[in-house]
Amino acid sequence: TGPVIIVGAGHGGYQVAASLRQAGFSEPISLINDEAHLPYQRPPLSKGYIKGSAGPESLMFRPEKFYQDQKIELIAGRAVSIDRAAHKVLLASGATLPYGHLVLATGARNRLLDLPNANLPDVRYLRILDDSEALRQIMPSKTRAVIIGAGFIGLEFAATARIKGLEVDVLELAPRVMARAVTAEVSEYFQDRHREAGIRIHLGVQATSIEAENGKVTGVSLSDGRHLPADLVVVGVGVLPNIELADEAGLPVAAGIIVDEYLSTADPDISAIGDCALFTSPRFGGSLRLESVQNATDHARCLAARLTGDKKPYDSHPWFWSDQGDDKLQIAGLTTGYDRVVLRGDPARKAFSAFCYHGDRLLGIESINRAGDHMFGRRLQSMDRSITPEHAADESFDLKSALA
Ligand code: FAD
């Protein structure tokens, strides 16, 4: 293969390097890292990390010694272009690195709010460790946060800000929270829970302007004419995949870097994984781009296997989680496209699962504080089995018998 260069040292990039070494790959590996930290876990940035007081080292996958011992060269900097003919990557520093195989694990970046005053220091985003660190530091001096976007990150942050004693308003354009990702039943549960915690959720509205005085945010105006006072705005309106490196190198891109079921781009010596990759999925019949730790790390493992001689199409089962206040949401499978939802357990008891079906086919399970159902769902899917809606809804039916 020759040297492997990995662009991006997030979940996917780190995992390819680690899995290659685990599989006995002995050629040079370089991990190009444009963040000023050792590779770290992103999910706690909007959860435990921002709530607590642990230092950045608590997030690191591995200490520095691991990279030395494993001969994984961490290169600080940013890749700016790819010379495919010469098999070289150019860094912003001017250095060029030859590759045998190039892995694009560039992730995604925040979609920015296109409003005046959106670049003031009181308007924040949450993607990288420095964002989380900055929010943790400024939160104690703030009293009223407006969160724009009720996706996973916006709601996780909202719950934390409320626990920290801030007044919190959440704005969402859709008629329900997390609308693109979960069933209406689960959206409603979380809306109720966040409201019980004292968070005001405004649905079907958008921010039309951010007001400020002397460079400090004073409030947000809404499309329905209302005005909310605020001294902190946190924006979580989705991400854009980092496809530019691939695009400028002439590789096909669309809503992601286009790769086949082996995660290879149109150039056999360049692969793309994780949040930036739009991959062909025989299982789901079409192209998918997912934003999850599971997807990035399983992509990485699949690619590392291919580069060490075990070529198989990517076929892992998606799963995901989100912690919001005291509630843990876990999703097994991909629930989009369902036409029937069956509940097991009771939202009023704060523990239930939504089994999502298309016809008789189980697409996935959204579990709230029901880790057992989630693990059941993952095992069931790994065995390519299903369970009838009647059994799913019947709490006296022992789920384990569906696995036997
Ligand atoms: P990333 O981890 O984003 O890594 C990409 C890296 O590439 C970044 O460091 C980026 O700076 C770098 N990079 C980009 N371009 C270049 C370049 N040209 N040169 C060098 N480096 C470059 N997922 C879950 O499953 N569960 C959760 O609870 C969850 N919570 C999350 C909370 C937050 C706050 C965020 C931001 C994400 C969360 N996610 C969660 C999503 C998950 O973190 C991502 O899906 C995952 O990190 C994707 O991994 P990746 O390697 O594709 O990209």
Please state whether beta strands 167-172 and 144-148 pair in parallel, antiparallel, or not at all (unpaired).
parallel
Residue nearest (by alpha carbon) to ligand 1 atom 14:
106
- Predicted confidence band of residue 329 (pLDDT cuts 50, 70, 90): very high
Cα gap 79→96, rounded to integer Å? 9
Instruction: Tell me the CA–centroid distance for residue 246 and ligand 1, in Å.
Output: 17
- Nearest atom in ligand 1 to the alpha carbon of residue 42 is 43
Q: Mind listing the pLDDT tens digit for each residue in 22-75?
A: 999 999 999 999 999 999 999 999 998 999 889 999 999 999 999 999 999 999
Residue nearest (by alpha carbon) to ligand 1 atom 7:
8
Q: Mind listing the pLDDT tens digit for each residue in 116-166?
A: 999 999 999 999 999 999 999 999 999 999 999 999 999 999 999 999 999
Which pLDDT score is estimated for 57? Answer: 94
Q: Mind listing the pLDDT tens digit for each residue in 75-107?
A: 999 999 999 999 999 999 999 999 999 999 999
The torsion of the CA quartet 127, 128, 131, 137, rounded to 10 degrees, works out to: 130
Instruction: Tell me the CA–centroid distance for residue 51 and ligand 1, in Å.
Output: 20
- Nearest atom in ligand 1 to the alpha carbon of residue 276 is 52
Residue nearest (by alpha carbon) to ligand 1 atom 31:
43
Token match 């499309």: residue? 223
Report long-range pairs for 72-75 (Cβ below 8 Å, ≥24 apart): 72/17, 72/18, 72/21, 72/29, 72/30, 72/31, 73/28, 73/29, 73/30, 73/31, 74/9, 74/30, 74/31, 74/33, 74/38, 74/39, 75/30, 75/31, 75/32, 75/33
CB 155 within 8 A of CB 161: no
Cα gap 226→223, rounded to integer Å? 7
- Nearest atom in ligand 1 to the alpha carbon of residue 320 is 25
| Residues across the chain | 404
Which of 111, 279, 290, 293 is the pocket-test mutation for ligand 1 (most atoms within 8 Å of CB)? 293
Please state whether beta strands 207-213 and 216-222 pair in parallel, antiparallel, or not at all (unpaired).
antiparallel
- Nearest atom in ligand 1 to the alpha carbon of residue 15 is 51
**Considering only CA atoms, which of 141, 143, 108, 105 is closest in space to residue 125?**
108
Between CA 92 and CA 293, with CA 248 as vertex, the angle to 5 degrees is 75
Instruction: Tell me the CA–centroid distance for residue 256 and ligand 1, in Å.
Output: 14
Task: Indicate if the pLDDT at residue 227 is higher than 90.
Answer: yes
Task: Indicate if the pLDDT at residue 370 is higher than 90.
Answer: yes
Residue nearest (by alpha carbon) to ligand 1 atom 18:
79
Task: Indicate if the pLDDT at residue 1 is higher than 90.
Answer: no
Task: Indicate if the pLDDT at residue 242 is higher than 90.
Answer: yes
Residue nearest (by alpha carbon) to ligand 1 atom 20:
78
Calculate the average pLDDT of the chain. Answer: 97
CB 172 within 8 A of CB 149: yes
Q: Mind listing the pLDDT tens digit for each residue in 256-294?
A: 999 999 999 999 999 999 999 999 999 999 999 999 999
Query: What lines the ligand 1 site, CB under 6 Å?
Result: 7-13, 32, 34-35, 42-43, 45-46, 78-79, 105-107, 126-127, 153, 242, 245, 274-276, 291-294, 296, 320-322
Q: How many CB atoms lie within 10 A of CB 186?
A: 26
Residue nearest (by alpha carbon) to ligand 1 atom 38:
43
Helix axes 184-196, 152-163, angle to 10 degrees: 20
> Which residues, in sequence order, are CB contacts of 249 under 8 Å at separation 6+?
81, 82, 84, 267, 270
Which of 104, 106, 237, 329 is the pocket-test mutation for ligand 1 (most atoms within 8 Å of CB)? 106
Please state whether beta strands 216-222 and 239-241 pair in parallel, antiparallel, or not at all (unpaired).
unpaired
Cα gap 150→176, rounded to integer Å? 8
CB 76 within 8 A of CB 67: no
Between CA 320 and CA 329, with CA 325 as vertex, the angle to 5 degrees is 25
> Which residues, in sequence order, are CB contacts of 390 under 8 Å at separation 6+?
none
**Considering only CA atoms, which of 133, 155, 123, 147 is closest in space to residue 52?**
133
Q: What percent of the chain has pLDDT over 70?
A: 100
Q: Mind listing the pLDDT tens digit for each residue in 356-367?
A: 999 989 999 999
- Nearest atom in ligand 1 to the alpha carbon of residue 91 is 19
User: Looking at residues 393-401, what average pLDDT do you find?
Assistant: 95
Cα gap 221→149, rounded to integer Å? 14
Residue nearest (by alpha carbon) to ligand 1 atom 43:
42
Token match 């004693």: residue? 165
